[in-house]
Chain A
């Protein structure tokens, strides 16, 4: 039941004095800041003026094949400009055909395919190119938009900042079965081939229709099961590769497509006036901002996502996930990745559940043969189960951070690190209890003393440190630090890396002790050797980070002593406050203890190496970096058939940073009066931007 309030509104409004703002007690002023304002030229969509072409645009007009191609191409490209941080109202929905069809569908009696029309009156003439072919393009496009909007609602990426799914209260054909739309598209392809075979535009239009047809099946791919050591999914990947070819060929036609004459009035801001719209006035985003590169990127992303079919070990999945987070991706791939990786049924890739996966990952790393996992004692089993359940929840959150945009990833990690810190405390007390009460002994020899190996605690600590190290390094990547902060940040991360190396060495020793003890049991030896291999690779990675960090620190100390980098004088703050602010993220963390500002000052005050010493240290560091990079490049993570090229490129960027730092850093005789630094990022690793000394 609706009530007409027009008269009431006018009567009430007449009593409001002009130019006054009345605040209702039902909302606070902050809520008001989201309100739109009538009469405000930037906010009131009522003030949009339309051209004659827009006002009189006629969707029933007969169109030539070229015109239909232009509309189809611009519409498909609009989807990708939408996904590039625009809203639907200024991209896809600003297309008059899309608007009309959706309006008719949404207002139709029983929202079905029959109501998906461009116009409701009788068609003046035979109009198959518009009524059938163009219609199927619009149907396919909107169905794809519906899928994308659904992904945004799903919560794997952020609504608004990643994908803005607001569709002005229109349902994007969610009630129509994809198979029905597929039939329409297939009909159009047949029709075009029969009637326009020799027309140059026919092929391109068929390509567009083929892409849309493939997109209708996209969700099938999210659900494919990828079990450990399974048969490769050759057939599915061939389909995607075929799609990639079509997309690349379409991109190859770009010059031609860009020369097609535009149809005036076909894209319009009118929908912002006509429909429910809670947004300020927004200018249209031209479809030309997309050159089909993001389409190609997206399909390539999908193909590379399937390389996980070669997995045989838990570490393969970890590398795969880390690799995904290291590179920028199309937002759709980011939205799909976690759906593909972490299924609704709680499994990883449709196979083992997350908890099983986590246990196999821990056992495969440093917990092989640990009493904690092998004990038959009921109490221990129960306690372990509780602990692993808690760990699984946090681990899941950790896995869900990898597909986020680079800014969010760091924020997710900042939250997770606190949970890992408390998990470490629980792990330690659990293991101590197992040792003391249940006499489950798992020892190593540390400096001549026998000490508990604490494999669970070590694993959690190792993960926690890797998260902390990542948080600081990602800060460099996101350009969060000023150059005068570089020294303290690298110094802070060096402390963490040193701790990580200690823990990894302890783990290595533990595995070696076990290998010695089990040398007559070949099946154990194989497993332990695998674990050892992983630990050795981790050691190589952190040793490489360690040396590069020291290299950066040495250079920064030179730059500081030459006064090329100085800490500015601040009116309201100072270096100490800034230092503490940066340490705040980890302030509550017990181990490793966080360094204080006076520790940092002490370090800064320590004797600096002479230039000769500096040079010889640099040579040592370069040697260590190169050696460790060689180890990493020959390791499993770069050679398991899963995104190998990307892993290698990522590793090689560290080498480029090393070279960059050595070439551009401080040179003897430089000083702050003549020189300043510029930060160079392009071509270098994001964790190690290169500071270049340039003349002022």
Chain B
């Protein structure tokens, strides 16, 4: 977890801010956004991230779902902040694990950008950061699910090279079908798992540490 607090400051190419959809109209035309990996000890960031996601995603997540992702793969969770107010305005939560023991598969679990900040490339940046980190950890592919009606998310991911590998019948609680999207990264991703050699070292698959160690470590320091 040495790369924590590795900040990415970029200037987002701002689009004209329309008053209705961007209550940020009092801000200067260029909004400074800073990006950082999650600090698992920063409770207020974690709370902010949870709030952001629970407002924007249709599925309800318990604290255990967040724990599952954040404690095991904090390096794959990024936060976008309004640099001026330091407020968390976007986040991506992901994991990286062996799939059927043969492929290292990244998974984007949650992605959300606060409504007022949308359309400025923030999600795109978050996704890139997370995927770059997965690639560093040896990912063969990246997967996620999104509702068939979520045009924004589908376009975002497809423009990054994700392909629709499956349609999932009535996958979401709100009755919609979903697409499973996959971004193939290595040769392993383009061979059916039945015909792949098992991964040599599951640690290659990007898990940082044993679940248990991490959790105990965190329990003693964080009250999340």
Contact = CB atoms under 8 A, between A and B. Distances in A.
Interface residues of B, number: 47
Contact of A572 (B167, B183, B219): B183
B160 A583 contact: no
B212 interface: yes
B62 A36 contact: yes
A581 B167 contact: no
B177 interface: yes
B219 A21 contact: yes
A33 B70 CA distance: 12
B166 A21 contact: no
B63 A21 contact: yes
Interface in A5-55: 17, 19-23, 25, 28-30, 32-33, 35-37, 40, 42-43
B215 A581 contact: no
A480 B64 contact: no
A30 B95 CA distance: 12
A33 B184 contact: no
B161 A282 contact: no
7 contacts: A17-B223, A21-B63, A22-B219, A28-B211, A30-B68, A485-B163, A581-B190
Given A40-B60, A43-B62, A588 B54 contact: no
A199 interface: no
Nearest to A577: B184
Contacts of B63: 21, 37, 40
A480 B166 contact: yes
B64 A29 contact: yes
Interface residues of A, number: 55
Interface string B154-169: 0000111101111111
Given A33-B62, A161-B169, A42 B54 contact: yes
B38 interface: no
A573 B175 contact: no
B189 A581 contact: yes
A32 B219 CA distance: 16
B166 A32 contact: no
B67 A583 contact: no
Contacts of B164: 479-482
Contacts of A22: 219
Interface of A: 17, 19-23, 25, 28-30, 32-33, 35-37, 40, 42-43, 84-85, 158, 161-162, 280-282, 405-408, 410-411, 418, 478-482, 485, 568, 570-574, 577-578, 580-585, 587-588
The 9 closest A-B pairs by CB, nearest first: A573-B161, A570-B161, A42-B60, A32-B64, A37-B62, A580-B190, A407-B169, A478-B167, A581-B184
Contacts of A20: 219, 223
A29 B72 contact: yes
Contact of A33 (B65, B148, B190): B65
B190 A583 contact: yes
A364 to B, nearest CB: 34
A23 B171 CA distance: 29
B190 A407 contact: no
A626 B187 CA distance: 43
B13 to A, nearest CB: 16
B137 interface: no
B169 A405 contact: yes
A577 B128 CA distance: 18
Given A21-B67, A29-B211, A588-B194, 9 more contacts: A37-B63, A42-B54, A407-B168, A478-B167, A479-B164, A573-B183, A573-B185, A581-B182, A588-B192
B208 interface: no
A156 to B, nearest CB: 15
Contacts of A479: 148, 164, 167
A568 B156 CA distance: 12
A572 B54 contact: no
Contact of B177 (A25, A407, A568): A407
B18 interface: no
Interface in B117-154: 128, 131, 135, 148
Contact of B175 (A17, A85, A410): A85
Q: Give the secondary structure class of B's interface.
A: mixed
B68, B158, B163, B171 — which one has the most chain A CB atoms within 10 A of its CB? B163
Interface in B18-63: 54, 60, 62-63
Contacts of A32: 64-65, 67-68
A17 B195 CA distance: 49
A482 B190 contact: no
A478 B63 CA distance: 34
Contacts of A585: 192
B12 interface: no
Contacts of B161: 568, 570-574, 577-578
Contacts of A411: 166
Contacts of B65: 32-33
Contacts of B165: 480, 581
A40 B166 contact: no
A581 B143 CA distance: 13
Nearest to B176: A85
Contacts of A478: 167
Contacts of B183: 572-573
Contacts of B224: 19, 21
Contact of B160 (A30, A570, A577, A584): A570
A583 B184 CA distance: 12
Contact of B67 (A29, A418, A571): A29
B191 interface: yes
B192 A33 contact: no
A408 B169 contact: yes
Contacts of A282: 173
Contacts of A281: 60
> Considering residues B67, B165, B190, which has the most beta carbons from chain A within 10 angstroms of its beta carbon?
B190
Given A33-B68, A40-B60, A572-B135, A577 B219 contact: no
Nearest to B158: A482
Contacts of B185: 572-573, 577
Nearest to B190: A580
B223 A584 contact: no
A571 B166 CA distance: 22
Nearest to B141: A581
Nearest to A164: B170
B62 A584 contact: no
B70 to A, nearest CB: 10
Contact of B68 (A29, A161, A581, A587): A29
A587 B191 contact: yes
A19 B43 CA distance: 11
A573 B68 contact: no
A406 B177 CA distance: 11
A261 B175 CA distance: 28
A85 B166 contact: no
B184 A578 contact: yes
Contacts of A407: 166-169, 177
Contacts of A35: 62, 64
A92 B128 CA distance: 46
A29 B71 contact: yes
Contacts of B184: 573, 577-578, 580-581
Contacts of B223: 17, 19-20
Contacts of A587: 190-192, 195
Contact of A480 (B67, B167, B190): B167
